[in-house]
Amino acid sequence: MARLPLVRGLDERARDVVVKQDGVATTAQLAAWGVGRSVVAHRVARGDWQRVHRGVVVLHPGPTSWRQRARAALLYAGPDAALSHESAAYLHGVLADPGPRIVVTVPHRRTVVAQRGLVVHRARTMPWSGGRLRSVDAAECVLELLEARSRVAGSRAAPGWTTGSAHVDAVVGLLCDAVRAGVAPETLLVRAERRCRLAGRRLLVDMLGQVQDGIESPLEHRYARDVERRHGLPRAVAQRWERVGGRWIRADRVYPGHRLRTELDGRLAHPSGSTDADVWRDNAVLLATGDLTLRYRWRHVAVTPCETAAQVAAALHARGWRGTPRRCSPACPVRP
pLDDT tens-digit map of 266-317: 543 444 455 677 777 788 888 888 899 999 987 788 789 999 999 999 999 9
What region, left, alpha or beta, does residue 257 occupy, with left being phi > 0 and alpha being psi -120 to 50 degrees?
left
Contact 72, 26 (CB under 8 A): no
Distance of CA 221 to the CA centre of its chain: 16
**249/175 same-domain check:** no
Contact 133, 77 (CB under 8 A): no
Task: Provide the sign of the torsion angle of the four alpha carbons 123, 128, 133, 137, taken in this order.
Answer: negative
pLDDT by residue (tens digit) across 71-122?
A: 999 999 998 999 999 999 999 999 999 999 999 999 999 889 888 999 999 9
**pTM value?**
0.72
Helix count and strand count (H, E) for the chain: 13, 12
What is residue 105's predicted lDDT score, i.e. its pLDDT?
A: 96
Contact 46, 6 (CB under 8 A): no
By the 10 Å C-beta count (0-12 exposed, 13-18 middle, 19+ buried), 89 is classed as buried
Instruction: State the distance between the two ends of the chain, measured CA to CA, in whole angstroms.
Output: 72
Is 80 exceeded by the pLDDT of residue 177? yes
By the 10 Å C-beta count (0-12 exposed, 13-18 middle, 19+ buried), 270 is classed as middle
Where are the extended beta strands (E) located within the chain?
24-26, 50-53, 56-58, 82-83, 102-107, 118-123, 129-130, 135-136, 237-244, 247-255, 260-264, 292-296
**205/226 same-domain check:** no
324: in domain:
no
**173/125 same-domain check:** no
What is residue 269's predicted lDDT score, i.e. its pLDDT?
A: 40
Strands 56-58 and 50-53: antiparallel
310: in domain:
yes
Q: What are phi and psi of 330, to 5 degrees?
A: -60, -30
332: in domain:
no
Is 80 exceeded by the pLDDT of residue 217? no
What is residue 239's predicted lDDT score, i.e. its pLDDT?
A: 84
Is 50 exceeded by the pLDDT of residue 160? no
**265/306 same-domain check:** yes
What is residue 24's predicted lDDT score, i.e. its pLDDT?
A: 95
Contact 89, 74 (CB under 8 A): no
76: in domain:
yes
**50/80 same-domain check:** no
Q: What are phi and psi of 71, to 5 degrees?
A: -60, -40
Is 80 exceeded by the pLDDT of residue 216? no
**169/111 same-domain check:** no
Domain span at 90: 67-136
Percent with pLDDT over 70 in the chain: 87
Residue that is last in its domain, among 159, 187, 212: 212
Reported confidence tier of residue 334, pLDDT bands at 50, 70, 90:
very high
263: in domain:
yes
281: in domain:
yes
Number of domains in the chain: 4
